[in-house]
Amino acid sequence: MALNRRLFLTATTTALAAPALSRAATKLPFTLILDWFVNPDHAPLFAAKYCGAYEKAGIDVKLIAPTDPDLPPRLVASGKADAALTYQTQLYLLVDQSLPVRRTGTLINKPLNTLTALKRSGISKLTDLKGRKVGYSVAGVEPVIIGAMLRHVGMSLNDIQLVNVNFELVSALRSNEVAAVIGTYRTYEDIQLAQEGLDPVIFLPEEYGVPPSDELILLSNSSGLKNPALSAFLGALKQGVAALKADPDGMLKKFLKENPNLNDKLDIASWHALPPYFDTDPAALNVARYKNYRDFLFENGVIKKKLPLSDYAVTIS
């Protein structure tokens, strides 16, 4: 997921994987709200269906594409869905707002976010950003990430000019509106720029003082942590990841048959770039990672409280 490639597509709230009602009546229902429209980031969710993992687990899984990327966590918080996909970087903000949500699983356990410039800008190292414009889309977290990266090389936000480009990250780079942007994905926009021959120069935040984070996580309502369908779903998702990594081409063929609008050069390249980023054990919790990122956000004033880990993330057995 970067949000910038999602926000300007029209989507309808649609059930994407509902078995026949007569069969579903004997299964545990489980509704997952996606972070936004269907894309290669969701490959293991579909692979779990294609390999029969949901069927074997006895769960009737519905994958729902929301009309607004802000809705999924709030639908879970209000009890209108069993789980939702969101980002570890957003988890702490949601809890800071007192939403009753917990991280219960992980889909992508590595950061995808990058700070990207184009070779033609003359930028080859972070210090080359001095005096230049840098585009961003999400207030709060992204300026903090840029600030941490700059401090790592002896600079500060005062050395650059931040420009809100309203999710038009790639367009802002193409038009030379800015010299660099934060928020591109190494498995999508960076590939897109390379395919267009624009020679992206990519800086990974985790290499410049920003703690690594899980990109896409599963959120559940704190009152539904003992839901047997949740545990069954995580087990099925683990099988889906394994099936995807064992046969990415076969799974892609089924995915494109179901989602023909994604049968293009960029989405196919993204599909093949993503398998190393999918968590092989979605239920496992990296305790140190979640504490470190909590501390990072607190120390930079993004969240007001530094709560116990159990208020943010749990392990489902």
Say how far apart CA 296 and CA 230 lie, in whole Å: 30
Structure tokens at 233: 């779903």
Q: Does residue 120 share a domain with residue 71?
A: no
Q: Does residue 218 share a domain with residue 260?
A: yes
Residue range 278-282: average pLDDT?
98
Q: What are phi and psi of 86, to 5 degrees?
A: -155, -165
How many domains does the chain divide into? Answer: 2
Q: Which residues contact 88 (CB under 8 A, 6 or more apart)?
A: 103, 213, 214, 215, 217, 289, 290, 293
Express each pLDDT in 42-81 by its tens digit.
Answer: 999 999 999 999 999 999 999 999 988 889 999 999 999 9
Structure tokens at 103: 């991280």
Q: Is 127 part of any domain?
A: yes
Q: Is 317 part of any domain?
A: no
Q: Does residue 49 share a domain with residue 183?
A: no
Say how far apart CA 61 and CA 28 lie, in whole Å: 8
Q: Is 316 part of any domain?
A: no
Q: Does residue 264 share a domain with residue 200?
A: no
Last residue of a domain, one of 154, 180, 207: 207
Helix (H) or strand (E) holding 92, with range, is helix 88-96
Residue range 5-34: average pLDDT?
58
Q: What is the pLDDT of residue 25?
A: 59
Q: Is the pLDDT of residue 307 over 60?
A: yes
Q: What is the pLDDT of residue 9?
A: 35
Give which of 107, 2, 3, 25 is closest to 63, Cα–Cα: 107
Q: Does residue 227 share a domain with residue 187?
A: no
Domain enclosing residue 134, as ranges = 113-207
Q: Does residue 85 share a domain with residue 48?
A: yes
How long is the chain?
Answer: 317
CATH number of the domain within which 10 lies:
3.40.190.10
